[in-house]
A = this chain, B = another copy of it.
């Protein structure tokens, strides 16, 4: 999911560009997507009154998620794993011995639908990274357990991924990182409480 920058607006009114020289006359960096600032400015210019207030937050979050996701995918491709599988294995690994969770619990911790979990588990089982078995717990519970091969795969890749990501955010000072972490935490907590509240998704919004 995560899809694109922001639904909206792009640069100035005139740089149609169809052909032209990509060079010096271009608005910004001709090789890069527009920034949230440029998108909001374009909205204002094209449609005065457009509610652009959220763009400065939502757009960079999507762009960053895309960059982090693509980067992780490339890092993991070298190890022959995909991000969805590593995510599954990591959740199990982090849960501690005996490295087993129900499908239900996996879904909750992975932010994907039950169907997606089912497919992830099936793929991982196919590759011998987890096992699946009925568990006596609740009615129809299935217990997914990490195999030694799955455990090894996590051990072999997690530090790589996390180290790489630490490098990617290293441009911020420790103070900036702390401030950003705090603000993101506050925003996430708040958004979680609002999403799913269907009253707000009506047109008139509040």
From B9, B89, B148, contact of A158 by CB (8 A): B9
Q: Does A125 contact B (CB under 8 A)?
A: no
Given known contacts A9-B90, A10-B94, A30-B108, is B4 in contact with A84 (CB within 8 Å)? yes
Given known contacts A11-B93, A171-B191, is B83 in contact with A4 (CB within 8 Å)? yes
Q: Which residues of chain B are near A8, meaning CB under 8 Å?
A: 87, 90-91, 93-94, 158, 162
Q: 0/1 per residue, A138-181, Cβ < 8 Å to B?
A: 10010101101001001101111111111111111000110111
Given known contacts A166-B53, A192-B32, is B70 in contact with A1 (CB within 8 Å)? yes
In the complex, chain A residues 1-16 whose Cβ is within 8 Å of any chain B Cβ: 1-16
| A185 adjacent to B36 (CB under 8 Å) | yes
Q: Does A132 contact B (CB under 8 A)?
A: no
From B6, B55, B63, contact of A188 by CB (8 A): B63
Alpha-carbon distance between A108 and B70 when the two chains are bound, in angstroms: 15
Taking CB as reference atom, which chain B residue is nearest A180?
B183
Q: Which residues of chain B are near A105, meaning CB under 8 Å?
A: 17-18
Given known contacts A7-B86, A98-B19, A171-B191, is B205 in contact with A33 (CB within 8 Å)? no
From B7, B97, B180, contact of A184 by CB (8 A): B180
| B62 adjacent to A9 (CB under 8 Å) | no
Chain B nearest Cβ from A143, distance in angstroms: 5
Q: 0/1 per residue, A43-77, Cβ < 8 Å to B?
A: 10111001111111110111111111111101100
A to B CB contacts below 8 Å, 21 in the list: A1-B1, A10-B94, A13-B155, A15-B97, A16-B97, A18-B105, A19-B135, A22-B95, A37-B185, A42-B96, A47-B158, A52-B162, A53-B177, A54-B165, A55-B162, A61-B68, A61-B184, A64-B184, A160-B205, A168-B191, A176-B183
Q: Which 8 A-B pairs have the closest CB atoms?
A: A19-B137, A18-B97, A10-B93, A2-B2, A13-B96, A9-B94, A171-B190, A65-B65
